[in-house]
Amino acid sequence: MGTKFETARGTVYPWQTDHVGHMNVQFYIARFDEASWQLLANFGLNGSYLRDHRRGMGALEQHTYYRRELLPGALIRVTSEVEEVKPKVVRFTHRMYDVETGEEVASTTITAAHMDTEARRAVPFPEEIAARLAAAV
C-alpha 118/C-alpha 81 separation (Å) is: 29
The arithmetic mean of pLDDT across residues 6-29, rounded, is 96
- pLDDT range class, residue 1, cuts 50, 70, 90: low
SS3 117: coil
C-alpha 4/C-alpha 24 separation (Å) is: 26
- pLDDT range class, residue 2, cuts 50, 70, 90: confident
The arithmetic mean of pLDDT across residues 72-84, rounded, is 98
The domain spanning residue 129 has which CATH number? 3.10.129.10
C-alpha 101/C-alpha 71 separation (Å) is: 13
Which residues are paired to 44 by β-bridges? Answer: none
> Which residues 6+ apart lie within 8 Å of 82 measured at CB?
2, 3, 39, 90, 91, 92, 133, 136, 137
Contact predicate 113/137, CB 8 Å: no
Q: Which domain holds residue 27?
A: 4-136
Q: pLDDT (tens digit, 9 = 90+) per residue, 106-135?
A: 999 999 999 999 999 999 999 999 999 999
Number of domain units in the chain: 1
